[in-house]
Amino acid sequence: MALALLFLSAGSLEARESAWQDWDYVWKVITLQSYNARLVILSTSLLGIASGLVGTFLLLRKRSLMGDALSHATYPGIGMAFLVMLLLGGEGKWLPGLLLGAATTGLLGVLMVLAIRNTTRLKDDAAMGIVMGVSFGLGVALMKMVSDLPQADAAGLNSFIYGTAATMILGDFLLILVVTIGAALASLFLLKEFAILCFDESFAASQGWPTFFLDLAMLGLVTAVTVVGLQAVGLVLIIAFLIIPPTAARFWTHDLRGMLGLAAMVGGVSGWVGSSLSALFADLPTGAVIVLVAATIFLVSMLFGPARGVVPRSWRQARLRRKVGRQHLMRAAYEILEGQQPDVAEPIRNLPIALDSLLTHRSWSAQQINRLLRTARTEDHLEEAEPGQVRLSEAGFGEAARVTRNHRLWELYLIHYADIAPSHVDRDADLVEHVLDAEVVNQLESELQDRPSSLEVPPSPHFIDQRAES
């Protein structure tokens, strides 16, 4: 058994060594000196750019699976085109004819999805699932019929399922180049129209925009990219090429133009690197490697993308929790000082505060209050005090007054303009006070210029309400 495993290991190692090309060929691939490698690398890179641009609108339109339905809808078109060309006396495997057939059934699939969505109560996902399943089933049946025809060489038609980038020729490159230029121009000149269609279709229709024709134009671009990508990555993996680059770009920016540029870049880099690796390793399929490279970029983006990445988002949430806790501590300390000095005519003095009063003021646990106090000391908001007491520093007292003032301004605004009772306003104000900037505070002051907000820190509306009831 051990000898057999050793033999298999040696055989696999020998296979891996034979799969790796010599260094001269590696240099030719990297520098694009090899004609076939140059053709495949440039073609898949352009396809990645086009897929990133078109896929961005699909993602924002919440129709990412439309590409999947469309790619499966192209499969029966290949079989139909083969049969038609045979009946016309051709060989049946003329690539432009096959792509034309794929584009025709792909467009019919898109129209079927729109028809089901617009004439029934079914949603997009159900319509796409129906068209995708029926189309692929029809394609499988047609391919079986084609393969059983006498004197009909249908070998190689199933390669459109997974793609055969190594067989690409100059005509394929030129076709992909035209589609990429068309996708870039459409994304540039129809950016405003596509954006309003993606974000608010109902508003676009109410403003008189031709939403149906814009939808058709967008899906026409998806069809063109899908059809020209059949030979490179296949109808199964083209959906990944349409979805992964824009999804990865979404983690890096909130700007639509920036997202388009990043999606195109991710798609182009994925095509370049994936096809290069496939050229260097003889047994690696090009389409699968391209998708794996794109998935790696997506994983890095998901973790570290500054706009929506997991790590930056966790860091921002941790900073926000720290800020909220600090502001709650500062306001609690100021309110306790107010309770110790009930005369509102005199300014609040910065006196020591009993630690027990802080614990009971907001029902904090000992662990929570110790963590908040450590944070406050780190930020120089506390100074040394006797055991069992806490004393705000000069900076801490100013911060406490500022936070309390913002909270009171928002409370007064909600009471006077939102008709919220003083007994219920504290929680609403507590949720908003942490995001009030200087501009919002100035607006609150101008709205409440005839109210008690003219004081340095307005008195608590709860205290005013209690005095009115008494």
Taking only the tens of pLDDT, the chain with its 470 residues reads 433 433 334 344 344 444 456 777 777 777 777 788 888 888 889 999 999 999 999 888 887 777 778 888 888 888 888 888 878 876 767 777 888 888 888 888 888 888 888 888 888 778 888 888 888 888 888 887 877 776 555 556 666 666 677 777 787 788 888 888 988 898 888 888 888 888 888 888 888 888 888 888 888 888 888 888 877 777 777 888 889 999 999 999 999 999 999 999 999 999 999 888 888 877 778 888 888 999 999 999 999 999 999 999 999 988 888 888 888 888 888 888 888 876 666 778 888 888 888 888 877 888 888 888 888 888 888 888 788 888 888 888 888 888 888 777 777 777 776 666 666 656 656 666 666 666 766 766 666 665 544 445 666 655 544 444 44
In a domain? residue 219? yes
Last residue of a domain, one of 254, 272, 306: 306
Q: Is residue 5 part of a domain?
A: no
Query: 207 with 102, same domain?
Result: yes
The β-bridge partners of 382 are: 392
Q: What is the DSSP letter of 435?
A: G
- In this structure, the answer to whether residues 324 and 294 fall within a common structural domain is no
346 and 215 in a single domain? The answer is no
How, if at all, do strands 382-383 and 389-392 pair? antiparallel
- Let me know whether 386 and 289 are in one domain: no
Judge whether 380 and 393 are in contact, CB under 8 Å: yes
The residue among 222, 224, 190, 223 whose CA lies nearest residue 209 is 190
Amino acid in position 435: V
- Residue 290 domain flag: yes
Within a domain: 13: no
Same domain, 221 and 348: no
User: What's the rounded Cα separation, in Å, for the pair 20 and 10?
Assistant: 16
- State the pairing for strand pair 389-392/353-354: antiparallel
By three-state DSSP, how is residue 121 classified? coil
Query: Which pTM value belongs to this model?
Result: 0.77
CB neighbour list of residue 314: distance below 8 Å, 6 or more residues apart:
none
At 6, list the tokens.
Answer: 């050793």
Q: For residues 338 and 457, what is the distance between their CA atoms, to the nearest angstrom?
A: 11
Q: By three-state DSSP, how is residue 382 classified? A: strand
Residues 290, 191 share a domain: yes
pLDDT of residue 295: 93
260 and 335: one domain?
no
Closest-CA residue to 177 (of 34, 37, 42, 41):
42
Domain assignment present for 15: no
DSSP state, residue 32: T
- Phi/psi at 254 (nearest 5 deg)? -105, -5
Amino acid at residue number 420: I
**422 located within any domain:** yes
Query: In the chain, how long is the greatest CA-to-CA distance?
Result: 104
Cα-only R_g, the chain: 33
Give 160's contacts (C-beta < 8 A, 6+ positions apart). 74, 75, 78, 98, 102, 230, 231, 234, 235
Token pair recorded at residue 260: 């388009």
- pLDDT of 462 reads 55
Same domain? 328 vs 295: no
Residues 195 and 263 in one domain: yes
Residues 319, 393, single domain; the answer is yes
Distance CA 365, CA 284 (A): 59
Q: By 3-state DSSP, what share of the chain in percent is helix, strand and coil, each rounded to 5?
A: 75, 0, 20
Pick from 272, 306, 340: which residue ends a domain? 306
Domain count, the chain: 2
Q: What does residue 152 show for φ and ψ, rounded to 5 degrees?
A: -120, 115
> Which residues fall within 8 angstroms of residue 388, CB to CB, at 6 or more apart?
354, 355, 356
Tokens of 141: 């049946």
Residue 26, Cβ neighbours under 10 Å: how many? 14
Give the separation between CA 447 and CA 445, rounded to whole angstroms.
5
Q: Which of 419, 280, 261, 398 is nearest to 330 (CA)?
A: 398
Task: Give residue 64's domain range.
Answer: 20-306
Residue 464 within any structural domain of the chain: yes
For residue 223, the domain's CATH number is 1.10.3470.10
Query: What's the 3-state SS for 156-171?
Result: CCCHHHHCCHHHCCHH
Residues 182 and 68 in one domain: yes
